[in-house]
Amino acid sequence: MVSEHSAQTDDEPTVLALKILVAGGFGVGKTTLVGAVSEIRPLRTEELLSQAGQSVDDTDGVDQKVATTVAMDFGRITIRSGLSLYLFGTPGQDRFWFLWDELAQGALGAVVLADTRRLEDCFPAVDYFEHRRIPFVVAVNCFAGARSYGAHDVCRALDLDPGTPVVLCDARDRDSGKEVLIRLVEYAGRMHTARLLDSVG
């Protein structure tokens, strides 16, 4: 969790900035989500896909994808007065996973984007956050033409811990993405409060 207290007058509210990760498999819509909700021009570290990477980048189901994130995406959204979220989109390919530990430091929680056509691609992200006890929500990006599944079906397929939220979203839509982020902040807040109470109980 990251908080910012800049030089303020007595009339100005305290500004709280929370760090959120956006993770998931290759081509699931992480860059799209960060770009859709960010109120600033998002920082992107994308490179064009090349023939050399065809053997390691599985584009089955995402044939139109021409670029990929190689470090991170970054954006910012103000949820309400005094509360901003800093969004860090992680690279999806396993050869870039060494960056995840750096990006995860100080994070309040994470959004794990899922594509029901390639649901297994989000397993590594789910395992990563579960093992590090970082609260997360699974956001199912509803792609056109993909078979529709309910939140309960996705929860069972991913064998999620009880209570882990699963929400349906459209990563291209700002309001839909904002709802996912609000759900995450609420869930992560409950989880961190419960752990704090356990530690002093």
Give the DSSP H/E element, type plus range, for residue 79: strand 67-80
Helix axes 174-200, 30-37, angle to 10 degrees: 100
pTM (predicted TM-score) = 0.81
Report helix, strand or coil for 44. Answer: strand
CA 122 to mean position of chain CA atoms: 11
- Per-residue confidence in pLDDT tens, the chain, 201 aa: 555 554 455 556 678 999 999 999 888 999 999 999 999 998 876 555 445 445 454 555 555 545 555 458 999 999 999 999 999 998 876 666 778 899 999 999 999 999 999 999 999 999 999 999 999 999 999 988 888 899 999 999 999 999 999 999 999 999 999 999 999 999 999 999 999 998 886
Q: What is the distance between the alpha carbons of residues 102 and 4, in angstroms, rounded to a whole number? A: 19
* Contact (CB, 8 A) for 90 and 20: no
